[in-house]
A and B are shown apart, each in its own frame.
Chain A
Amino acid sequence: MPLEDSPYPSPAPSPQAVQEWLVTNLAATVGVAPAQIDVRLALTQMGIESLMLFSLAGDLASWLGRDIETTLLWEYPTVEALAAHLGHNDAIRLDPQANKPQPRSKPASLVAIQPLGTHPPFFVVHEVSGTVWCYAAMARHLGEDQPFYGFQVPLSEVESESAPDLDSLIALAATYVAELRAHQPRGPYFLGGFSLGGVIAFEMARQLREQEQEIALLALIDTYFPGLARSTPSLSRKIRIHARNLRGLESAQRLHYLQARLQKRVPNVPQAQGETPEARARRLLLQSQVSARLEAAFRTYRAPPYAGRITLLRAQGQFSSADDSRRWRGVALGGVQHHFVPGSHGLVVAEPYVRHLAARLKQCLHQARTASSP
């Protein structure tokens, strides 16, 4: 199908290129040398006011050759996070050199975020984007003595026969539990998740306990309680409508449609070198479907009682509310340990707030290790 009539997006630059652009432009705006720009520092800590941020968004959009959602600079508040979101996202692969027993089957979902260290590994689960990018900053602060692994949704697998079931958090958790036990056959397990990832980690812990495995730590980072009615509009519903619309279009029209609507909602789209516009459009569609299905799965999931203990880490700038805490307390038969960490929902995993979250997590991991050692 000829594409000459459709406006197709220019190839997205790498995260490094986006980062360089941001550093150069921020340095010029703020009046410092580029070397002084800390890519992990929130832009608001650089003395940049909102009108300047909007200006920056506009210049960035021009350079990228496509629209940028205004809220992006608030949702990804550091240079590093913004660059990762806008550039292509290379999935971190399990380190083949790591001195760990090789899993029996090829793990499509489990990846090593930081494989080094002597402590028992800490496993986290992706949030609604299906990626583990949100944990990168945390990994740095957890340090090189804490092995840190994540479960992600690999786009390349989504439409294959062995695709994980994204429509049911129970089935998804079962897939991850199988991979987890292939990697580490016996507990105690140290699990966690940010936002939606916390719910999946909860279901994994529940299933592991049914398999008579010990859960040393279950840490939910600013995680909503599933099933609570909320007033936020349904992102998944909007995306489902778009996906349905797209199926009726021919490929040239699809690109135009996607460019106009979906790009602003699609985080962390992986991109191969020399990818054709058609392939990119397909990936955008896939990524948006992943997010929509995960969000829908979250809405239909009901948390059963859990025989163990839950550790809740809540953002002080509160996304999850006191209601959520109360509900988690209601299902955790072993009780709830409650911690507040600074930042709002988006910022709690970003600099400079993430160091507090990481410090707390380190404490929790240490406590859990001491409690479960023979």
Chain B
Amino acid sequence: MLAPSPHCVLALNRHKSQNWNWEETIHLWAADLDLAGAHLPRLYESLCPQERERARNFLQERDRRRFIAARGLLRAILGSCIGVRGAQISIEAHPTGKPFLPQHRSWRFNVSHSQNFALWAVAREREVGVDIERLRLNLNLDALTNRLFSAPEKAWLRSKTSTHAAFFRLWTLKEAYLKADGRGIFLPLQEIDVSSETGRPAHRDARSDRWRFLEQWRLQSLSVFPECVAAVAAEGQNWKLEFHRAAFHDIGPPIE
């Protein structure tokens, strides 16, 4: 039994992670960021100067803490998977905002959090996107539907009796896909359809005005926390998911 090293986050899992299957599996971690508590100083220490600057510039303390926890845990998770210290990982972002690892390009990842609930996905040689949303009641779903969804998606929503749950299910699938692609909301939202039960996204061809399925992507809805809806999108057809809970006791003893 490996004793947890205070410098090595998720040390207990590392022993297992060396045997993990990375070819056909996407690994997912979920956590309640508000439970980070006494671990925040250590998590903050692992952030790079730009992340620390961002952390300092939050309007509210609650969001600062969640950011530190989300990024700190991202580094811990990636470090555990790759076999390096989280603080040593260099994270950059593409022009449209998607983060990547310039020194570990075969490792792909994505993060999402909605208030305190967070989801991280890590894969090898496979682009991945995740989205998690806390179910909110105070949104104008009609206006959002008009803005965010294409004609077939709107038709799919209309066919559902529980529009609230259906909206979030459809949106998380779409956002996970937009994030996996990397271009995010810079993609033409009206030309994309993620409502198919086959889990494949479709794009409308501008010239022929026909919808075409993209076989190289697969989307899947997830249930991770009771108050949330989530989804993952990834390249390839044959992957499966493995869940891990990012429990804070894995990080080692809290700093006094």
Contacts and interface: CB of A to CB of B under 8 A. Distances in A.
B120 interface: no
Which bucket holds chain A's interface residue count?
A: 20 to 34
A175 interface: no
Nearest to B92: A316
A45 B185 contact: no
25 contacts: A45-B54, A45-B57, A45-B63, A46-B59, A47-B59, A47-B62, A49-B115, A50-B175, A51-B144, A54-B147, A54-B148, A55-B140, A55-B143, A58-B144, A62-B143, A70-B148, A74-B97, A74-B184, A74-B186, A316-B92, A317-B97, A318-B93, A318-B95, A345-B95, A352-B53
Contacts, number: 85
A331 interface: no
A71 interface: yes
Nearest to B139: A55
Interface in B83-125: 92-97, 114-115
Interface string A316-356: 11110000000000000000000000101100000010001
A45 B59 contact: yes
A30 B146 CA distance: 24
B144 A55 contact: yes
B189 interface: yes
Interface of B: 50, 53-54, 57-60, 62-63, 66, 92-97, 114-115, 133, 136, 139-140, 143-144, 146-148, 171, 175, 184-186, 189
Interface string A39-69: 0011001110111001101110010000000
Nearest to B179: A50
A54 B144 contact: yes
Contact of B50 (A38, A74, A318, A342): A342
A355 to B, nearest CB: 9
B59 A30 contact: yes
B143 to A, nearest CB: 4
A211 interface: no
A159 to B, nearest CB: 33
A36 interface: yes
Interface string A286-324: 000000000000000000000000000000111100000
A55 B138 CA distance: 10
Nearest to A351: B57
Nearest to B138: A55
A260 interface: no
Given A47-B58, A50-B175, A71-B185, A317 B95 contact: yes
Given A38-B59, A50-B185, A62-B143, 12 more contacts: A32-B59, A45-B54, A49-B114, A51-B133, A55-B139, A74-B97, A74-B184, A317-B93, A318-B95, A319-B95, A342-B53, A344-B96
Nearest to B143: A58
Contact of A71 (B136, B140, B186): B186
Contacts of A74: 97, 184-186
Nearest to A316: B92
Contacts of A345: 95
Contacts of A58: 140, 143-144, 146-147
Contacts of B136: 51
A318 B133 contact: no
A253 to B, nearest CB: 24
Contacts of A318: 92-95
B130 to A, nearest CB: 13
Nearest to B62: A47
Nearest to B134: A49
Contacts of B63: 45-47
Contacts of A45: 54, 57-59, 63
Contacts of B62: 47
Nearest to B115: A49
B143 A70 contact: no
A197 to B, nearest CB: 18
Given A47-B62, A54-B147, A352 B185 contact: no
Contacts of B93: 316-318, 344
Contacts of A42: 57
B210 to A, nearest CB: 20
Contacts of A38: 59
A70 B136 CA distance: 20
Contacts of B95: 317-319, 344-345
